[in-house]
């Protein structure tokens, strides 16, 4: 009896020194890793009414297959000739645009012709001014000559008058000198009048040149105003054409929204809209598509007290609902029916249930079951530090937290690669 007790005690002590992997149990569900592999709700892009269904629940559809046909319900889009009428409006605006272009071209030609006529008229007026100036210079020279002639005639008359008093000159000669003096006097007055006329002519020529400049400036300003008005109308027409083309493009795109097509391959699981003629709002869900194939992972929820143990790259063992398992939590190598996973993402804010969500994906050579579906329950064990069994019992009896390794250090339960 004593020998059996001794052997039992020795085996018990040996058992206490067996290695034990600390772990943390969490639960969650299977999800698709990529967003496009998750169930997708098909929505209407426009408001309309259901005219025909081409699928039923459980059907497998390919991307681009027709799911349903919608009819129009908005009054502004009911006209069957809406596209043709919009196209005719665009053609009319384009014709108007060409007319404005021709008008601008004609105005530009008129402006060039008026500028040529202005330059010629101004040159002619300038030549006339020069002519009047030369005429004034010539008249002034003649006037000066007449002044000299008048002065000489006057002096001759006065000298002959004195000589006549001494009987050296006859009265006839004195009268001739008087007549000649008066003639030169009259010519000087006439030439002075011609000088005034020439000076007035110069002033009129200068005024006429200024009037020509103002007249042509007025004409050019009016044509420039017409040209800018035509350019403004042309730009407004171009803006109208752009708007109409945008409207036509929107109408054409809207016509494509009457046919609701499958965005990806998958199974029709729910048809939330039913019947024919049922009115749908813009963005309303009509059905749900579940992809046939997806890269699976799992979302698990960890309590805030265990969140410090979670880190990206930590290994986990997963057991799925419906798959037989034999789990030894402290000895993961001898467990059966479990599958390895690794943490690749975590939320920094708690979810609605007050826990933190972490995301795991398969790892290792053993792949997850092929029959696994999205939504299946998952129980997962986070593998932490390898410790003796007696230490784990002592830790749990005292309520101490589990030990863990940082991500940059190798976890001791992982085997070294040979």
Same domain, 106 and 243: yes
Whether residue 9 lies inside any domain: the answer is no
Same domain, 101 and 212: yes
**408 within 8 A of 314, measured Cβ to Cβ:** no
Same domain, 332 and 311: yes
Number of structural domains found in the chain: 3
CATH of the domain at 281: 2.40.50.100
Q: Which residues are CB-neighbours of 282 under 8 A, at least 6 positions away? A: 44, 45, 46, 47
Whether residue 185 lies inside any domain: the answer is yes
Same domain, 59 and 118: no
Same domain, 326 and 389: yes
User: Which residues does the chain have with pLDDT short of 50?
Assistant: 330, 404-418
Same domain, 119 and 233: yes
Whether residue 417 lies inside any domain: the answer is yes
Same domain, 233 and 115: yes
**380 within 8 A of 358, measured Cβ to Cβ:** no
Give residue-wise pLDDT tens across range 167-212: 777 777 778 888 888 888 888 888 888 889 988 988 998 999 899 9
Whether residue 287 lies inside any domain: the answer is yes
Whether residue 8 lies inside any domain: the answer is no
CATH of the domain at 382: 2.40.30.170
Q: Which residues pair with 29 in a beta bridge?
A: 299, 377
Same domain, 121 and 234: yes
Q: How many whole angstroms separate alpha carbon 19 and alpha carbon 386? A: 6
User: Domain end: 238, 255, 272, which one?
Assistant: 255
CATH of the domain at 164: 1.10.287.2610
Whether residue 52 lies inside any domain: the answer is yes
Same domain, 395 and 278: no
Q: How many whole angstroms separate alpha carbon 219 and alpha carbon 205? A: 21
Same domain, 97 and 245: yes
Q: Can you give the pLDDT at residue 327?
A: 55
Whether residue 341 lies inside any domain: the answer is yes
Same domain, 265 and 298: no
**273 within 8 A of 126, measured Cβ to Cβ:** no
Q: Residue 127 belongs to what domain range?
A: 82-255
User: Domain end: 255, 271, 305, which one?
Assistant: 255
Among candidate residues 31, 40, 38, 22, the one with its CA nearest the CA of residue 300: 31
> Cβ–Cβ contacts within 10 Å for residue 322, how many?
10
Whether residue 86 lies inside any domain: the answer is yes
Same domain, 30 and 47: no
């Amino acid at each position: 009896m004593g020998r059996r007790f001794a052997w039992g005690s020795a085996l018990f002590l040996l058992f206490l020194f067996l290695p034990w992997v600390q772990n943390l149990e969490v639960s969650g569900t299977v999800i698709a890793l990529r967003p496009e592999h998750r169930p997708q709700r098909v929505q209407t892009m426009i408001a309309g009414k259901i005219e025909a269904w081409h699928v039923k629940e459980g059907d497998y559809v390919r991307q681009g297959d027709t799911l349903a046909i919608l009819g129009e319900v908005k009054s502004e889009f009911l006209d069957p000739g809406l596209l043709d009428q919009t196209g005719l409006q665009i053609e009319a605006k384009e014709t108007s645009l060409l007319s404005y272009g021709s008008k601008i071209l004609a105005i530009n030609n008129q402006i060039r012709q008026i500028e040529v006529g202005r330059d010629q008229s101004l040159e002619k007026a300038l030549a006339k001014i020069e002519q009047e100036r030369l005429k004034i210079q010539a008249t002034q020279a003649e006037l000066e000559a007449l002044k000299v002639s008048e002065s000489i005639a006057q002096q001759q008359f006065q000298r002959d008058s004195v000589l006549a008093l001494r009987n050296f000159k006859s009265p006839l000669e004195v009268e001739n000198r008087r007549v000649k003096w008066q003639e030169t006097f009259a010519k000087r007055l006439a030439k002075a009048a011609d000088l005034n006329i020439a000076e007035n002519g110069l002033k009129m020529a200068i005024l006429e040149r200024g009037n020509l400049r103002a007249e042509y400036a007025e004409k050019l300003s009016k044509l420039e105003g017409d040209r800018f008005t035509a350019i403004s109308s042309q730009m407004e027409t171009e803006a109208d054409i752009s708007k109409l083309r945008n409207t036509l493009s929107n109408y054409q795109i809207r016509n494509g929204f009457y046919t609701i097509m499958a965005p990806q391959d998958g199974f029709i699981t729910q048809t939330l809209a039913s019947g024919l003629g049922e009115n749908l709002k813009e963005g309303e869900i009509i059905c749900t598509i579940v992809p046939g194939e997806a890269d699976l992972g799992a979302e698990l929820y960890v309590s805030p007290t265990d969140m410090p143990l979670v880190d990206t790259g930590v290994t986990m063992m997963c057991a799925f609902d419906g798959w037989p398992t034999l789990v030894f939590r402290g000895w993961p190598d001898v467990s059966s029916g479990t599958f390895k996973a690794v943490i690749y993402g975590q939320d920094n804010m708690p979810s609605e249930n007050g826990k933190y969500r972490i995301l795991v994906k398969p790892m290792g050579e053993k792949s997850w079951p092929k029959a696994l579906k999205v939504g299946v329950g998952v129980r997962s064990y986070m593998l932490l530090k390898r410790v003796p069994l007696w230490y784990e019992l002592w830790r749990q009896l005292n309520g101490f937290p589990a030990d863990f390794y940082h991500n940059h250090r190798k976890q001791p339960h992982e085997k070294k690669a040979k």
